Structure 1
Amino acid sequence: MSVTDRVIRIIAEQAMIEPSDVALTDTMQDLGIDSMGLVECIFALEEEFDITVPFNANEPQASDFDISSVETVVAGVERLVARQKD
């Protein structure tokens, strides 16, 4: 399963929808995920990928992890996973 598929599965789980209903262009707000749900998503991503998401992920200009859309979350997870392998 790809990083994208795994991220989408986690986000869909939090939004209580089917993964097929999640588009890369969706924002967390589009999916009905509130700030508490977002925290749960981040914890689940950290556990799934054994990564640490920067605490300031809600401020993309202050962090290289952007939570504004599904696509940017996937990109952020991919970067963190790649760094782990270095």
Structure 2
Amino acid sequence: MDVKDKVIAIIAEQAMLEPSDITLDSTPESIGIDSLGLVEAIFAIEETFDISIPFNANEPEASDFDISSVGSIVAGIERLVAEKTA
């Protein structure tokens, strides 16, 4: 299972959906994830990959991490994982 599949599985669990219901174009809002759910998903992703995501739950728009879509979240995680293993 690659980074994308793991991230989608975590997000799907938070949204109480099947991973197949989520596309890279899905936004947290479109799949019913509120800000608390998003924070929980980010914690789960950090734990799974042993990384730290530069995300400020109080000011998401001030974060260096793009959470506008599942695809942008996956891209950000892939970058962080690559940096960690480099």
Same fold (TM over 0.5): yes
Equivalent runs, 1:5-84 vs 2, <5 Å: 5-56=5-56, 58-59=60-61, 62-63=63-64, 65-84=65-84
**How big is the shift at 1:85?**
1.2
Query: How many equivalent residue pairs?
Result: 84
How many angstroms apart in 1 are the aligned matches of 2:74 and 2:82? 12
Query: Which sections of structure 1, spanning at least 5 residues, go unmatched?
Result: none
**How big is the shift at 1:54?**
0.5
How many angstroms apart in 1 are the aligned matches of 2:16 and 2:23? 14
Instruction: Return the TM-score normalized by structure 1.
Output: 0.91
The 3-state SS of whatever aligns with 2:45 is helix
Instruction: Return the TM-score normalized by structure 2.
Output: 0.91
Deviations 1:23-62 (A, max 9, x none): 11000000000000000000000001111001337226x5
How many angstroms apart in 2 are the aligned matches of 1:55 and 1:74? 14
- RMSD over aligned Cα, in angstroms? 1.4
How many angstroms apart in 2 are the aligned matches of 1:38 and 1:56? 11
Which amino acid in the other structure matches residue 31 of structure 2? L
% identity of equivalent residues: 63
Deviating beyond 6 angstroms after TM superposition, the runs of 4 or more aligned structure 1 residues are none
**Farther off after superposition, 48-57 or 65-74:** 48-57
Which amino acid in the other structure matches residue 53 of structure 1? I
